[in-house]
């Protein structure tokens, strides 16, 4: 299969933009990516839009603003992994020879507060109180605390790290550092998860231009996509509604572990070969658990990794240099594309004060409703 490269990226800040429509957000990120790739819209052979909460046929509505060129464009939805699936579809299109240049765009305009449960859950699940996402994250955290001795201070340290990193990211919704005491003193959302340890749904967009090796040869700046994997959770120990979970102690691997293994195999790399990570931190514990599932440490040792400082800037496994979703917020369709944009900047050496020294490889990870998981690995 042909090699595939990111040759351009664009990012609209994440936050609240009541004066802008999703059409505005998408158009701006797309223009930035085209400019960064030094190409025009007429050079693009196909386009994919990652989104969850936007209207049907949002892709052609956005892309026709750039020009009615008649190319294939469509919406892709896979919950929080929408961006990862859209990237995978684009890569398969290029690898098959059908396309040479593809734009992948992620856009979202999210409602305030908890996500609309009717988008994900059945009426009976909502009526039973099973449709509030933080309850599942909290149950996983409590299980981990019970089995491995993880503490609230360990979880809070993840949030402290990400909020500190956000102070160097002008694209983040929140750009303020907090102490451990301030994190633990913030309002309890769902025991043990607190307000400053959880992400907020919001607005934003991110875009990348992918090109075949033939078309990327002349690109001024190109980063290779060496892995793009997507899987769905099997029956596992993931806490989900009763309809889709068999046991709290199932022995088979969870979706992040399975997807990461596929991605590592595709890339011919292991976790020790990755220089920087952007991972799903819908809450601080989710990030701690991702350390284990991505192979940065053994299962049950995530808290030890946190205490060691290994995942901080300057550590051996820097994670969420951007501030993560806790600081940026989570416009679902744009979240994974935003991670990829951050990694491209890191691998180009363009991340400014949050730059990882000599970064040559990066991994982006998302996990969401329905057990959707996607992992993308980039390399200079």
Mean pLDDT of the chain: 93
d(CA 91, CA 99): 9
Fold of 131-196+226-379: Peroxisomal Thiolase; Chain A, domain 1 (3.40.47)
pLDDT for the residue numbered 124: 81
Residue 241 — pLDDT band, cuts 50, 70, 90? very low
Tens of pLDDT along 335-351?
Answer: 999 999 999 999 999 99
What pTM, to 2 d.p., does this model score? 0.95
Same CATH topology for 4-113+204-216 and 131-196+226-379: the answer is yes
Residue 80: strand pairing partners: 78
Neighbours of 221 (CB within 10 A): 17
Is the CB of residue 84 less than 8 Å from the CB of residue 71?
no
Tens of pLDDT along 100-123?
Answer: 999 999 999 998 877 777 877 778
The second-level CATH assignment, the architecture, of 4-113+204-216 is: 3-Layer(aba) Sandwich (3.40)
d(CA 171, CA 173): 7
Run of H or E residues at 362: strand 361-367
Domain extents for the chain?
Answer: 4-113+204-216, 131-196+226-379
Residue with tokens 């509030």: 132
pLDDT for the residue numbered 335: 97
Sign, CA dihedral 290-295-299-303, equals: negative
Strand, coil or helix: 181: helix
Tens of pLDDT along 170-219?
Answer: 999 999 999 999 999 999 999 999 999 999 999 999 999 999 999 999 88
Residue with tokens 């022995």: 251
Asked if pLDDT for residue 237 goes beyond 60, the answer is no
CA angle 163, 221, 83 (to 5 degrees): 50
Residue 244 — pLDDT band, cuts 50, 70, 90? low
Tens of pLDDT along 30-85?
Answer: 999 999 999 999 999 999 999 999 999 999 999 999 999 999 999 999 999 999 99
Residue 1 — pLDDT band, cuts 50, 70, 90? low
Asked if pLDDT for residue 224 goes beyond 80, the answer is yes
Is the CB of residue 324 less than 8 Å from the CB of residue 197?
no
pLDDT for the residue numbered 243: 52
Asked if pLDDT for residue 238 goes beyond 50, the answer is no
pLDDT for the residue numbered 171: 98
For 152: left if phi > 0, alpha if psi spans -120 to 50, otherwise beta; the answer is alpha
Run of H or E residues at 153: helix 152-166
pLDDT for the residue numbered 61: 97
d(CA 160, CA 363): 22
């Amino acid at each position: 299969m042909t090699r595939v490269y990111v040759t351009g990226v664009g990012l609209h800040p994440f936050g609240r933009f009541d004066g802008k429509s999703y059409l505005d957000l998408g158009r701006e990120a797309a223009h930035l990516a085209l400019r960064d790739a030094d190409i025009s819209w007429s050079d693009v052979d196909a386009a994919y839009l990652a989104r969850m909460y936007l209207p049907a046929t949002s892709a052609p509505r956005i892309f026709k603003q750039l020009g009615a060129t008649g190319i294939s464009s469509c919406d892709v939805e896979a919950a929080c992994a929408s961006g990862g699936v859209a990237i995978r579809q684009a890569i398969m299109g290029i690898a098959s020879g059908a396309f040479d240049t593809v734009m992948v765009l992620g856009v979202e305009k999210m409602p305030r507060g908890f996500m609309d449960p009717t988008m994900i859950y059945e009426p009976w699940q909502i009526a039973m109180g099973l449709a509030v996402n933080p309850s599942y994250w909290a149950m996983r955290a409590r299980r981990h605390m019970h089995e491995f001795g993880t503490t609230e201070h360990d979880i809070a340290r993840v949030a402290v790290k990400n909020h500190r990193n956000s102070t160097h990211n002008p694209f983040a919704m929140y750009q303020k550092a907090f102490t451990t005491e301030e994190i633990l003193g913030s309002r309890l959302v769902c025991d043990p998860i607190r307000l400053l340890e959880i992400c907020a749904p919001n607005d934003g967009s991110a875009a990348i231009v992918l090109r075949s090796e033939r078309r990327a040869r002349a690109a001024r700046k190109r980063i290779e996509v060496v892995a793009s994997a997507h899987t769905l959770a099997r029956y596992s120990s993931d806490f989900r509604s009763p309809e889709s979970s068999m046991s709290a102690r199932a022995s088979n691997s969870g979706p992040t572990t399975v997807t990461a293994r596929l991605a590592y195999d595709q890339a011919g790399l292991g976790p020790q070969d990755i220089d920087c990570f952007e991972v799903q931190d819908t809450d601080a514990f989710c990030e701690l658990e991702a350390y284990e599932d991505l192979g940065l440490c053994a299962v049950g040792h995530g808290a030890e990794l946190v205490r060691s400082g290994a995942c901080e800037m300057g550590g051996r496994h820097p994670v969420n240099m951007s501030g993560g979703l806790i600081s940026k917020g989570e416009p679902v369709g744009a979240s994974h594309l935003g991670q990829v944009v951050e990694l491209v900047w890191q691998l180009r050496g363009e991340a400014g004060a949050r730059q990882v020294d000599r970064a040559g490889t990066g991994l982006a990870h998302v996990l969401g409703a329905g057990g959707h998981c996607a992992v993308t690995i980039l390399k200079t």
